[in-house]
Amino acid sequence: MKTNLPRPALSRRDVLKLLGLGAGVWLAGCAGPQTPASPTAAPFIPTVGLEPTSAAATRVPGTQPPTAPAQTATPAPGLAELAVPLAVPPLGAEEWKTLPVFPQAVSARMHRLFEIGQGLGRDARRFSVIGDCQSIPTYFFTEFEGQPGVNYHLGEYGDLQATIDWFKGSFGGGVAANGGQNVAAVFSPLWADPLACARDEGPLACELRLSRAAFALISLEENWNGDAAGYRENLEKIVQYTILQGVIPVLATKASNLEGDHSINRAIVETTRAYEIPLWNFWASLQDLPEQGLYEDRFHLTQGSPGRFDYRSPLRTGWAMRNLTALQTLDALRRLLVAGS
């Protein structure tokens, strides 16, 4: 006998997908949005500077990018000037490919930002992840919340254990890494976790308020119909907002080149140069891997044991290299900023 079972209620993100607002998923081939675990609420830091807007999660091709979030509060002393970009001549078209995978030094600006952030109560032992399907905890970083030799194996990279211990508690993810999310969606309350975030908060504002982190790894690959200028405009808004919260933004290049001319990676690199912020040049780490660490679709990273670095096979995959180089990036920031402060 056929039984009519009640259908589960649609989540807010399910409704968005039905309405077409989740189009970023198929535009870049991301997996569907994941529902991250809600972090434990921390003491509140007043949000200053660029407040999120209720812009649509993705922009329909052919329309204008979302307007800049409104300036509604005065940032802490010293932050406003750090959020002003420098006029720097662009690199040559191929120069960005030769930049280091993880930071070798940090600018005086970032030393100052770290100092101000500490005064605001930012936690130097925490980082946030702002990203799309390449940053969801399913494959990214979760192993490092476990036990060495059981959940992850560092092998010749054993010196990274100090950084894992330092940042323990941040590797499980937050509320700002969602499949299909792009550089506009992070400001939209439509993409925020309704169980963790205020009604008017987007994922970016919500995550930085809850985590109280001193660092933010930002890895957003989604694009709108090849609109590199729109991508950079919104990426700069993310950088400015993050700086105005007293948080050091770290931008990651992407593995893929679906746009065909690396315009997104060039926009990412030029943004780091304009604001003198750290770069995680993930693209550069993949070039010696089989198929540059990508499957045939030239977007998804090849899979292996993402937290195992002690034998040759996993380090030949995109996900293992992503976890390793992200950890090396955090290690560099801990040594260059925290250890010397």
Q: Is residue 233 part of a domain?
A: yes
Q: Is residue 176 part of a domain?
A: yes
| Residue that the structure tokens 């996900």 belong to | 319
Give residue 341's pLDDT: 55
Q: Is residue 21 part of a domain?
A: no
Per-residue pLDDT tens over the stretch 36-82: 333 333 333 333 333 332 233 333 332 333 333 444 467 788 999 99
Which residues are registered as beta bridge partners of 213?
123
Q: How many CA atoms lie within 13 A of 284 on its CB side?
A: 18
Per-residue pLDDT tens over the stretch 209-257: 999 999 999 999 876 566 888 899 999 999 999 999 999 999 999 999 9
pTM of the predicted protein model: 0.80
Q: Is residue 97 part of a domain?
A: no
Q: Which domain holds residue 291?
A: 109-341
* Amino acid identity for residue 316 in this structure: R
Give residue 224's pLDDT: 56
Q: Could you give the CA distance from residue 183 to residue 232 in angstroms, rounded to a whole number?
A: 9
Q: Is residue 341 part of a domain?
A: yes
Burial 71-109 (b: 16+ CB within 10 A, else e): eeeebbeebbebbeeeeeeeeeeeebbebebbbeebeeb
Q: Could you give the CA distance from residue 184 to residue 101 in angstroms, rounded to a whole number?
A: 26
Q: Is residue 53 part of a domain?
A: no
Q: Which of 53-62, 179-188, 329-338 has maximum average pLDDT?
A: 329-338
Check if the beta carbon of residue 183 is closer than 8 Å to that of residue 234: yes
* Amino acid identity for residue 180 in this structure: G
**How many structural domains comprise the chain?**
1
- Beta sheet of 248-252, edge-to-edge order: 123-131, 213-219, 248-252, 279-280
Task: Check which CATH number belongs to the domain holding 174 and give it.
Answer: 3.40.50.1110
Backbone φ and ψ for 130, nearest 5 degrees, come out as -115, 110
